Structures are given as structure tokens and as C-alpha cells.
Amino acid sequence: MKYLFNLLVLLSLFYRSHAQTATVSPAVKTSEAVLNDFMDQRFGMFIHWGPVALRGTEIGWSRGTNVPMQEYDNLYKEFNPVLFDAETWVKTAKDAGMKYLTITAKHHDGFCLWPTKFSDYNIMNSPYKKDIVGELAKACKKYDIKFCVYFTVLDWHDPNYPIHLPDGKNPDPKADMTKFVTTMKNQLQEIVTQYQPYMLWFDGNWESPWKNEYGADIYTFLKKLDPDVIINNRIGGGQPGSHPKLGPEILGDYATPEQKIGELNMNNPWETCMTICQQWAWKPNDKLKTLKECIQTLAKTSGGNGNLLFNVGPMADGRIEQRQINRLKEMGDWLNNYGESVYGTKGGPFKPTEVFATTRKGNKLYVHVFERKSADLTLPALKGVKINKAYLLKGGKINHRQDAAGSITLQLPEQLPNTDDSVIVLELNTNAEKLPVIS
């Protein structure tokens, strides 16, 4: 009897899992070639922006908390970012070495940065009256930056969505999820057909009104509009805490660890999203990350085989703070010297540490050295692998030795050429990309 019960439980779990994913046909999932191209980009700009910049509080989350709901919902009547210039934003991303840009076209507060026909709560009813999303899409095309769109699953402002406050309580019995999903599809169709985004970045899928079948339906709907549009893993329902993961039960093309560097993963694509300051939306005098933190975050992310989506929060007048622009430009300067070790590489084979991370391309193994703790840097053994040459990227020869077990010792210069991340190139006698991960 116990065996029969366990069998029934297993069958129930199988069918439940199958039911969650069956409505997404593998034939319409994003191709491996498209995802490989996405992962080759390595570095992108995230932008959280909207009328809330007038208050300097967090986008969406401060509605009904830090800012009274009625006040928050009427900020758009004051929102007139006359200093917004799409080309300046995109040029900032370009100068930072970023390859793609993702704008919060619609965050949890429901305000739309494009002239949608399916909600009056949009930029055309603000004093500004210009299509932010459209202007950014156009500027991205000019500067060869891939244009991407953030779109929320939940919408606390829409009366058809049952939850109206960040606390997730007191569902509205008058709400209508069927109408809500229809509006969502209509708005997404506008975005895909008008702006042709490279990628759609969903969020807000954790609340109980949003079911996995809604996400599966949306995924399939989008793939019919554009088979190559990339979709992250925050579209399916019932996935609290699943953002760093992918799996058969999770809808989406890649994982999205938030405010932390993802773990080394050579099997599933992932992208860390992280703020350059502390808050996603603009906040006065928000603490800015140091250049060392920024560069080493990018290197460790690449070393883990992931992308970095680095967030800025523009001000209410439409400008990105100059100090943020300066910091991003410093990252771009570093990439001008060391970008070969980031773009188009694979992570591994070693897990990133506080001292070093490694990336690889062809027969080259790039060692990102973060700190000179001693005269030598010893790497784990690579059995059967010979180093033909070792040298600083954009620099001179590095003396090295390998013991019988394959352990590698690099003799570091007394002064590293870059105090944040100096890169040593090891040319191997084999394809570095095919080396197994060393745990």
C-alpha cells in the first residue's frame, strides 16, 4: 500500500510538472544560436525610470508606502523630463562598453513610457508627450546597441489586476485576470511590432494571481510574433525565489540572479542584474559603487559564464547623474584595454574567487588578477594541459611553471598594471573552451 501511495505521489508530481510546461512548445523556444549571441554580449545597461524620479524613492515599491498612493499615481502630471536625450543615454552605454540596453517600459506602478493605446496611464498624458521607448529604440539602432524592454507581469495600478499594493494583501474581488492578460498581450504586441526588441525582461511574477498557464500563454504568444525574441525566466507563475535558476518547470530562456553574482554555470545562460548605486530608481546622494567593485563584478560575472545587466536610475529631468556617467566611462576605459577577455568568452574552468577569475576563448585562458597577495599566483591543476606562453594582456612576458600534477604558478610583477583587474593570458596547447570545470 505504501509503495502504491508513493507511486501515485510521483505520478501526480510528474503530471503537474508536465501540465505547467506542456503549453509551451519546444518548437517555439529561443534557438541556441540566438542565446549564444546574447551571452557573447556580456555587458548591458539596465534603466529604471519613470515619474517616481520626482520623489527619489524606489520605483513601484514606494507606491502606497513611502509615497501615498494618490500622490504617487498623479506624479505623471508633473513629469516633464525636458533634458532627456535618448542618444546621450545610449552613447553613455556605448562608452561604457555595454552591448545592450534594457528600459523599464512598464514597471509595477503601471506607468507606460510609450504611447500605448490600451492604457491612458502613459507618457503621452504627461507634460512631456514624447515616446521614450521609441526614441531609445531609434538611438540604439544608430549606435549598434541591442534594444531590450523590461515589462512587468503584475500591475498594482490596473483595476483588473487583483493586488493594488506592494504588501500583496486584500485581493480585489472586482478584478478580472482575463481582461488583464488581454491588455498585457495587446501592450506586448505593440512593443514587439513597433520597436522589435532583442529581448524582453519580465518581472513581478511571484504574486498569487499570476499563474503558470498565463506565463506559458504569453511566452507562446510572443514567439508567434517574433521567434527570436529572448525572454527571461520571470514570466511563469508560482516561482518565488527561482530567479537564479532554470529548469524544465521554469519558463524562460535564461536565469536572472538579482543584486548578486550568479554561480559558475556552463550549462544554462544567466544574467546578473545589479545597481550601480543602492536603489534601482534615482535617489539623491545614493551610494555609488567604487570602480574596483564595478570592474571586478563584471569580471567575476564573466568568469562564472554570465552576463552583467548594470542599472542606472536617471533623474526626473531626464539626465543620468554625471558621477554615474563618469564611473561607467571608467569601466569602458578598462574594457578598451581588456575587453578581449570579456566579450565572446566562456567562463571557467575555475570558479571566481576574491583573488582571481578566469575566462577563455579558443586556446587562450584569461586570468583576471584582482589582488597581488604574494609574488606568485597558483592556479589549480589542469591535467594534461601545457602552457605554451604566458603574458600580460597589453603587456610583457609572465614567468610561469607547472609541476608534475599540472598545477600552475604565475610569477606576478611587483606592480600590477591595473589595480582593479590585471589580465594575464595563458596560451595553451589545447582548446581552453573544452576544459572541464575544476571544482
Does residue 101 sit within a domain? yes
Contact 234, 153 (CB under 8 A): yes
> Residue 242 has what pLDDT?
64
Owner of C-alpha cell 584569461: 366
Cell output for 183: 491588455
213-236, pLDDT tens digit by residue? 999 999 999 999 999 999 999 999
In the sheet that 43-47 helps form, which strands lie side by side, from edge to edge? 230-231, 199-203, 146-152, 100-106, 43-47, 307-312, 271-275
Instruction: Confirm whether 9 is domain-assigned.
Output: no
Does residue 77 or residue 24 have the better pLDDT? 77
Determine, yes or no, domain membership for 127. yes
Together in a domain, 228 and 365? no
CB atoms within 10 A of CB 79: 20
Domain annotation covers residue 3: no
Bridge partners (DSSP) of residue 411 are 376
Higher pLDDT, 274 or 241: 274
pLDDT at 439: 75
Q: Are 407 and 372 in contact (CB under 8 A)?
A: no
Q: pTM for this structure?
A: 0.93
Domain shared by 390 and 333, yes or no: no
Q: Which of 317, 341, 365 is the last residue of a domain?
A: 341
Q: Distance of CA 262 to CAs 194, 252, 258, Å?
A: 33, 17, 8
| Residues 321 and 360 grouped into a single domain | no
Instruction: State residue 404's pLDDT score.
Output: 83
Q: Are 288 and 324 in contact, with CB atoms under 8 Å apart?
A: yes
The residue among 41, 287, 244 whose CA lies nearest residue 147 is: 41
Is pLDDT at 333 greater than 80 in this prediction?
Answer: yes
pLDDT for residue 109: 98
Same domain, 126 and 201: yes
Q: Which domain holds residue 80?
A: 17-341
**Strand segments (E) across 276-361:** 307-312, 346-347, 356-361
Query: Do residues 232 and 359 share a domain?
Result: no
pLDDT of residue 17: 41
Per-residue pLDDT for 23 more than 60? no
Do 248 and 269 belong to one domain? yes
Do 356 and 320 reside in the same domain of the chain? no
Give per-residue pLDDT as tens, 370-387.
Answer: 999 999 999 999 988 999
In a domain? residue 12: no
Task: Mark which of 305, 323, 341 sits at the end of a domain.
Answer: 341
* Residue 183 · residue 158 · CB < 8 Å: yes
Is there a single domain that holds both residue 329 and residue 361?
no
Looking at residue 3, its pLDDT comes to 41
| pLDDT the model gives residue 13 | 37
**pLDDT for residue 68 is more than 50:** yes
1 located within any domain: no
Question: CATH code at 167?
Answer: 3.20.20.80
pLDDT digits (tens, 9 = 90+) for 275-325: 999 999 999 999 999 999 999 999 999 999 999 999 999 999 999 999 999
pLDDT value of position 24: 54
- The pLDDT mean for the chain works out to 93
Q: Decide if 5 is inside a domain.
A: no
Q: Is 179 within the bounds of a domain?
A: yes
> Residue 147 is placed in which grid cell?
534594444
Residues 407 and 323 in one domain: no
Give 116-167 pLDDT, tens digit per residue.
999 999 999 999 999 999 999 999 999 999 999 999 999 999 999 999 999 9
Interval 20-47 mean pLDDT: 81
Average pLDDT over residues 74-98: 98
Lookup result for grid cell 513629469: 79
Structure confidence at residue 240 as a pLDDT band (50, 70, 90): low
Question: Which CATH number goes with the domain that contains 370?
Answer: 2.60.40.1180
